[in-house]
Structure 1
Amino acid sequence: MRESAAERHERLLELVRERGSARVSDLASQLGVSPVTVRRDVEALAGQGRLDRVHGSVSWPERRTAGGPATAGSPAGGGPVLGLLAPSATYYFAEVIRGAHEAAALAGARLILRISDYRPEDDRARTEGLLTAGAEGLLIAPGWRGPGDAAEHGEWITELPVPAVLLERRAVPGSALDGLDRVASDHRHGVVLAVRHLVNLGHGAPVLVARADSPTALAVRSGYTEALGALGLRAPREVIDSVPADQQPEEFEAAVRALHSAVASGKATAALVHNDVDAIQMVQRLAELGVRVPQDLALIAYDDEVAALADTPLTAVAPPKHEVGSQAARLLVERLTGAKDADEPRRHLSLLPRLRVRASCGAVER
């Protein structure tokens, strides 16, 4: 299996951590990739504060205490080191990471990152790596995918020796994990915004087309049921299961055909599609089958990562990804620096998504 960029970054970081410093040319040889690739990786990692870069070499980040020698794992100025575990450094979580990094920097803290690549069984080991690298507090977005992953792969988080904030994830109510600080998007609210907007445009309840391979996808699905109940609507048909087109082309085509059938039969004139990439590809395929967006089908995407870049710009629900990362980092810094009383109750912060109206729903853009 081809190594992902995130996995290569982890290997690069381990090599630098073990040596203290290394030349780019040596890293390229050790990693089995070109110097151009390593320079690009180093630039990205240095931008995240995970490496220091000087004249063709890189070193493990160090911080100097006032008047004293450099010490590993601490930022300049004496602020704390925050560790962030994320399932990915691209698409949805790129903006979450950016928000956390910017908030940490403003607070005088340093953020270090580990990526689990949506393998929840690796979360604990990645987190231990953050602690070894000097993390004094943790922002944790586990690589959960299915509904049982929190119970199977989450209890270890409650045993961590440092303060932790659960990031863009919700625990099982009543579980030990539910007693931690957390910051997350309110996806139920995001779905309500989409459904209400389509209904206000004169459509009946939209059909939902969604994946089931991430906590966001599962939250959109449950939010859809709650939204229909709150608005007194009935689903035009059962949820259409979507999958990545590049990985499961036949199943993706089946989802497109199911949506086409719902439109052709008159059961649905509107759809909510999770996520942006699936929505863009579905619009393209529907056009080949004779269904036009928005003339025949009003469509709203969920995530708003690349929705605006579609041929017909897609109206989309935009979770507050940057703000989730920022608020979580600020909360963790307050816990670490004593700005919050130790006896203060833990916090569950739910941040509301916004609806960004574009051409695909047939409404005037705003």
Structure 2
Amino acid sequence: MRESAAERHDRLLELVRGRGSARVSELAAQLGVSPVTVRRDVEFLANEGRLDRVHGSVSWPGGGEGVGQATQAQAPGQGSRELVIGMLAPNATYYFAEVIRGAHEAAAAAGARLILRISDYRPQEDAGRAAGLLAAGAEGLLIAPGWKEPDDPVEHGAWIAGLPVPTVLLERRGVPGRELDDLDRVCSDHSHGVLLAVRHLLGLGHTTPLLVARADSPTAIAVRAGYRYALDALGLKSPLPVIGSVSAEADPGGFEQAVQALRTAVLAGQATAALVHNDVDAIRIVQRLAELGVRVPEDLALVAYDDEVAALADIPLTAVAPPKHEVGRYAAELLIERLRAASAGGSGGTEVAPRRHVDLLPRLRVRASCGAPSDTLRSAMSVQP
């Protein structure tokens, strides 16, 4: 049976992970394919943030030290055995690149080995990917399922509760009252992030901001829920329903419809401010609104959600920044704590510490798009005589 590209990618990653770095010619020989094929694979994986390329060689992200490479440093009193933890993430780019980096750094600091698998937002394949991590030696798992739809936690999540090793959910929440709600988890508090944005815009004198958001990821769904929470907490009502956004690449017509709905609200005086999820959509919306004669921030104050590329826009975007790096770090530290406690307790009946639901608070980074002085300018102004 012919090997798929995904299977070849997994083999290539395993080779680089084990060595820390390798030359393209060496990888081609090991994989039994041409150097051209390996270069193409390396380019693909590097673009996803899963490998680094340096002068004909490839290395694991993080300065050549493989996530899966044995780390010599050990935590005090832990002996020489290397702890192995597995991580399942929906992708290795954009939002989750920083989550992975945080987990990697925490694992390395603890003398543990982190191995990674990517689900590409195919929740039906999550269980198989997790099984692969266990087969590769993972003693505990960090799980960010590839859920996209509201029903996915129920339809594609029950298997997680049955895993035979300590497990921590990250940036995902189970359905209250069901099995996954009993697991350890570390998440960004997106409701608090939305509340920060709404309060900031109200404080600048704007009417209740509109929400422009997708509905195709757990973060998008959480932002929508957070918007309802923020309005209720502040005793507000939205002047219009949430404007549903979509990817401009996947659905140009749907994206244009969202932009036109926002433009109409601005011209009709129904909105002077908006919160947009996510950064990429916000940048495109600002560009399209300018073509339609609506200026940011003069006609519309705008706050983006995610803060991945918001600062790079022509008009730097004020943005809510979830603590992605810290989510990865806290989750890895919690999992390692669980594993070491279990190892120390052995069969002696040591009481297990209570499960934890850790919510980390996003920050609001103020830039030009909301019409207020940026954080940098505010800092400069605060030290003026």
1:115, 1:148 → 2: CA distance?
Answer: 21
- Equivalent in the alignment of 2:324: 321
The offset of 1:7, in angstroms, is 7.3
Contact 1:244–1:278 (CA under 8 A) maintained in structure 2: yes
The offset of 1:28, in angstroms, is 6.9
Contact 2:301–2:370 (CA under 8 A) maintained in structure 1: yes
Contact 2:303–2:369 (CA under 8 A) maintained in structure 1: yes
Secondary structure of the residue that 2:33 maps to in structure 1? helix
Contact 1:320–1:352 (CA under 8 A) maintained in structure 2: yes
Structure 1 residues 93 and 361, CA, compared in 2 at 3 Å: closer, same or farther?
A: same
Aligned mate of 1:84, from 82, 87, 100? 87
The offset of 1:116, in angstroms, is 0.2
Secondary structure of the residue that 1:209 maps to in structure 2? strand
- Equivalent in the alignment of 1:168: 171
- Equivalent in the alignment of 2:9: 9
- Equivalent in the alignment of 1:294: 297
2:238 is aligned with 1:225: no
Count of matched residue positions in the alignment of Structure 1 and Structure 2: 346
- Equivalent in the alignment of 2:378: none
Contact 2:303–2:370 (CA under 8 A) maintained in structure 1: yes
The offset of 1:236, in angstroms, is 1.4
Contact 1:140–1:165 (CA under 8 A) maintained in structure 2: yes
Structure 1 residues 95 and 63, CA, compared in 2 at 3 Å: closer, same or farther?
A: closer
Aligned mate of 1:47, from 35, 43, 60? 60
The 5 Å alignment of 1:171-320 reads 171-320=174-323
The offset of 1:242, in angstroms, is 0.5
2:110 is aligned with 1:107: yes
Moved more, 166-175 or 25-34: 25-34
Contact 2:72–2:111 (CA under 8 A) maintained in structure 1: no
Structure 1 residues 288 and 112, CA, compared in 2 at 3 Å: closer, same or farther?
A: same
Contact 1:28–1:34 (CA under 8 A) maintained in structure 2: no
Contact 2:16–2:59 (CA under 8 A) maintained in structure 1: no
Query: What code does the residue aligned with 1:47 have?
Result: W
1:78-110 deviation digits (Å, cap 9, x = unpaired): 231110000010000000000000000001101
Q: Taking every aligned residue pair, what percent have the same amino acid on both sides?
A: 65
Q: How high is the TM-score relative to the length of structure 2?
A: 0.83
Q: How high is the TM-score relative to the length of structure 1?
A: 0.87
Structure 1 residues 31 and 304, CA, compared in 2 at 3 Å: closer, same or farther?
A: farther
2:161 is aligned with 1:158: yes
Secondary structure of the residue that 1:237 maps to in structure 2? coil
Contact 2:247–2:281 (CA under 8 A) maintained in structure 1: yes
1:311-346 deviation digits (Å, cap 9, x = unpaired): 000000000000000000000000001179642110
1:269, 1:131 → 2: CA distance?
Answer: 52
2:253, 2:8 → 1: CA distance?
Answer: 31
Secondary structure of the residue that 1:84 maps to in structure 2? strand
- Equivalent in the alignment of 1:361: 370
Query: What code does the residue aligned with 1:346 have?
Result: R
1:79, 1:246 → 2: CA distance?
Answer: 44
Secondary structure of the residue that 2:198 maps to in structure 1? helix
2:266, 2:93 → 1: CA distance?
Answer: 33
Structure 1 residues 239 and 33, CA, compared in 2 at 3 Å: closer, same or farther?
A: farther
2:30, 2:65 → 1: CA distance?
Answer: 14
1:7, 1:316 → 2: CA distance?
Answer: 38
The offset of 1:270, in angstroms, is 0.2
Unaligned runs of 5+ in 2: 46-50, 376-385
